[in-house]
Structure 1
Amino acid sequence: MPLLFNRPILEKDSYNPSFAGISTFAHLPYLQCWAEDANEDYDIAVMGAPYDIGVTFRTGARFGPSAIREGSKRIKGYNNELHINPFKSWAKAVDCGDIPFEPFDSGHAMSQIESHAKYLLTRPARPTHSQLNGGIPRLITLGGDHTILLPVLRAMREAHGRPIAVVHFDSHLDTWAPEIYNVKARGSKYNHGNPLYHASVEGLTTNGTSMHVGIRSSLYDKDDILRDEQLGFKMIKANDIFTLGVEGISERIREYLGSPEEVLVYLSIDIDVIDPSMAPATGTPETGGFLTREMRYILRSLYGYNIVGTDIVEVAPAYDTQAQLTSFLAADLIYEIMSMMVKYGEEHK
């Protein structure tokens, strides 16, 4: 059958503008990671968890993953502070898209998030780097509200076979005890105020080397501090920046974590750890937080630790400015952490 027209040959150009293309995180290749016939390997997996059933104030974090991906469009290249280009290295990073889950039942949704995270973590990393963490890929999760931390930590604990040291950046403790709060509401057993309570009780977090950083919210009562300590968490308050300074806070975190050779680290970042003047798009804003440059410095100070996973949660883009300040910030924080993951792997081949 004869052709009805001749198609022109397009001129190829290696440069694509940052604002173009379908939104994956930082233009990473999209991989249908959960498809039954998917057999590609990877070293770093990005997944979205658009879950916000557990919020207690302003809803909207379900739109966080798409907003963060949109905010990451301009991220492509060399990290001049950490001296690495995470996109041109040994590490194969992919964006797996969002976890499909049922949005009306929190318990069922959390089991789906856990099973999908486990699936990503049990997929093999590339053979050339299989000796790193036993071949377990590194996981980056885009939230969603902070409830998602619990099912992700369950998956991390099973994959790595031991508790993980969690550095929890937040203005809130997130260790509400469900037997004390909301006793009658069975559906609120799991919410964004208590993922670390459950994680500690279930043995998912290390005792004494896990911590909260940036705490400044009010508490229900003074016993919240005692309960938190009994769960094994250290605390660094936002106001400690006045006495310790940025470098002092960084040193305190490293002191709590201990030797980099002996600990697996998970970074969980609630975007409300940043002052709402710089990150307004969140469900439970608290004044008096870190500045963006302080947060990026503190994160980079953790270079040298084996960061096996991270999340950015509580980005609710409906409350952002037209300039997308919060979405850009969330994407930049992930970029810093991904850079550290890649550089660590480069130095521990």
Structure 2
Amino acid sequence: MWSVQAFVALSTLSGLGLAHLHADAADTQEPFVGWTREDLDAKWGTDYGFSGISTFAHLPHSRCLQYPETEYDIAILGVPFDTAVSYRPGARFGPRAIRAASARQTSFRGYNPRANLNPYAEWARIIDCGDIPVTPFDNALALRQMTEAYTNLAYTNVPAASSQSDIAYRRKPKLLTLGGDHSIGLPTLRALNKIYGNVAVVHFDAHLDTWHPAKYPSAWFDPNNPNEQSFFTHGTMFWVAHNESLIMENKSVHAGLRTRLSGIGDNEDDDAQGWTRFSTDDLDDMGLAAMSQSIVSHVGLDTPVYLSIDIDVIDPGLAPGTGTPEPGGWTTRELIRLLRAIDGLNVVGADVVEVSPAYDGSTEATALAAAQVAFEVLTSMVKKGMSANDPVGADVRDEL
């Protein structure tokens, strides 16, 4: 039983101890007065992989659509849209999952040995523009929202050049889109067309995505009416883009194909739209060097390219979190090596799509693969911008 005196004595000692601790803490605190921005950034501006708000690779965030004065060279843009899928939904959560999986990418540990550069610490201002708020209730409205958003962002100003040598790099901004289902390629191509004209598409996917909408049979729509809303799906968007004359014929490439077809007519339709096809098996038969060289030779180094990467090009045993899985795909390593081997292409926009994290399990394997693929694409964009052979950069240099 404690006596009253003992309790009072203990309380007094405890109070003195707490006061001492508070005094020590106060002594270690330094006021903000007199601190520079550099001081504050150095002390508080770094996140660990597991800390901080979830932006891609801890990049600075701006709601670019609300603040069009925001300047950048390359922007990450999420498009949480998945109501144009033909099988499993869930890719609306893809941008969130990819950002979370990119957490171990930081500017102070972003050096890419294969390219001998850190894309987050070079000439390019790279930011995360957040997501397009796309309606899940009306696909016609969603397509309008995405088209308007992409078009607005495509006209964003790039940062002012700090020197003449920088001007070669400061040209039109680029977007790397995190999907979302693959239908987001159509509004992107519409926006790019306004700036570059027709572009070539280098398309990594298990599926063609050039199908006529009537290949999804239905008595509810007129297959001869090209304005049907139901024609807009993640398997028909390149067909629609071809009909709108957005894609260069005889310059575009599919790679990684392995899906079942409705018949040989699917390939004939694809031929008529001017595509060249490489199957999954072609990588084994040709070898990686020959396939990558064939892609680059076919497309051309000066051609403006839209790089579109459906994560289902990877085998579902390695990337199960996707909406339309097809067994027998490439490994993550093979896809990344191919992307590295074609990094001389003039990529003016890119996407990584069809990550559906509900099917990914606890390993985050698909989201991790997508985050790494995005890192490789960013690296190639920055590396290309540093090249004296960059056709756009060369045009700017000629004007100096």
Bin for the TM-score computed over the shorter chain: over 0.9
**In the alignment, what sits opposite 2:180?**
144
The partner residue of 2:133 within 100, 105, 117 is 100
2:331 maps to 1:278: no
CA gap of 1:102–1:138, structure 2 versus 1, over 3 A, is: same
Following TM superposition, the consecutive aligned residue runs of length 4 or more in structure 1 with deviations greater than 3 angstroms are: 6-11, 129-133, 179-183
**Which runs of no fewer than 5 residues in structure 1 stay unpaired?**
1-5
Task: State the distance in 1 between where 2:239 and 2:357 align.
Answer: 27
Task: State the distance in 2 between where 1:216 and 1:72 align.
Answer: 29
Checking the alignment, whether the CA contact within 8 Å between 2:319 and 2:369 is kept in structure 1 is yes
**In the alignment, what sits opposite 2:16?**
none
Amino acid at match of 2:283: I
2:265 maps to 1:223: yes
Rg (Cα) greater in structure: 2
**In the alignment, what sits opposite 1:42?**
72
2:231 maps to 1:189: yes
**In the alignment, what sits opposite 2:304?**
264
More helix per residue: 2
Checking the alignment, whether the CA contact within 8 Å between 1:143 and 1:315 is kept in structure 2 is yes
What SS is found at the alignment partner of 1:344?
helix
TM-score (norm. length: structure 1) = 0.93
- Superposition map of 1:1-349 within 5 A: 8-9=29-30, 12=43, 15-36=46-67, 38-76=68-106, 77-128=110-161, 135-160=171-196, 162-182=197-217, 184-185=220-221, 186-258=228-300, 260=301, 262-348=302-388
CA gap of 1:58–1:180, structure 2 versus 1, over 3 A, is: closer
**In the alignment, what sits opposite 1:3?**
none
Following superposition, the deviation at residue 240 of structure 1 comes to 0.7
Following superposition, the deviation at residue 159 of structure 1 comes to 2.2
**Which runs of no fewer than 5 residues in structure 2 stay unpaired?**
1-25, 32-39, 222-227, 394-400
Task: State the distance in 2 between where 1:33 and 1:150 align.
Answer: 21
Checking the alignment, whether the CA contact within 8 Å between 2:169 and 2:386 is kept in structure 1 is no
TM-score (norm. length: structure 2) = 0.81
Give me the CA root mean square deviation: 1.9
Aligned-pair identity (%): 42
CA gap of 1:85–1:132, structure 2 versus 1, over 3 A, is: closer
Checking the alignment, whether the CA contact within 8 Å between 1:266 and 1:309 is kept in structure 2 is yes
Task: State the distance in 2 between where 1:67 and 1:130 align.
Answer: 35
- Between the two structures, name the one with larger relative contact order (CA 8 Å, sep ≥ 6): 1
Checking the alignment, whether the CA contact within 8 Å between 1:200 and 1:232 is kept in structure 2 is no
Amino acid at match of 1:264: P
Following superposition, the deviation at residue 13 of structure 1 comes to 5.7
Amino acid at match of 2:58: H
**Deviation readout 1:41-99 (Å, 9 max, x if unpaired):** 11001110000011111110000000000000111210011111000011001101000
